[in-house]
Amino acid sequence: MNKIIMEKTLEKPAEELKDMIPAQLQLPEKPPPKEIPYFGMVPIPQHDFPEQFSNFCFKSLYIREEAIRAMVEIKTECNQLLKENRIFDVSLPKIVRVDEFNQL
């Protein structure tokens, strides 16, 4: 938004700009607009996506001790929650408070 306002301001004649901008600013010429493809597709270079993604994951997460430890802890907590605790108990005859639920 500010870039558009700045461009419109600098497109004004030099007479109007001399009061607003003390120095003579010159912007580089605008680049020519890019050609819009007929089908709306952009060609991308040939690459092996699965290999690149695997390399990215290995280099970013799976070699850090903190990340591995966090994933193991999360998996342990999820398994413990599935085995020991029942989050949803539809067999209750009535609505119960949290402390009653924890006792059950």
- The reply to whether 76 falls in a domain is yes
pLDDT at 73: 95
Examine residue 13 and state whether it is found in any structural domain, yes or no.
no
Q: What pLDDT score was predicted for residue 72?
A: 93
Place of tokens 């009535």: 94
What percent of the chain is helix, strand and coil (3-state, nearest 5)? 50, 0, 50
CA pair distance 22, 26, nearest whole angstrom: 12
Token look-up 């497109």 returns 11
In a domain, 22, yes or no: no
Position 84 scores a pLDDT of: 75
What is the per-residue pLDDT for 13? Answer: 76
The per-residue pLDDT for 69 is 92
Residue 16 within any structural domain of the chain: no
Torsion of CA 43, 47, 48, 49, to 10 degrees: -50
pLDDT at 22: 64
Q: Is residue 99 part of a domain?
A: yes
Instruction: For the chain, list residues with pLDDT below 70.
Output: 1, 17-18, 21-27, 85-92, 104
Establish if 93 belongs to a structural domain: yes
In a domain, 73, yes or no: yes
81 part of a folded domain: yes
Q: DSSP string covering 12-70, please? A: S-HHHHHHH-SS---PPPPPPPPPPPTTS--------HHHHHHHHHHHHTTT-HHHHHH
The total domain count for the chain is 1
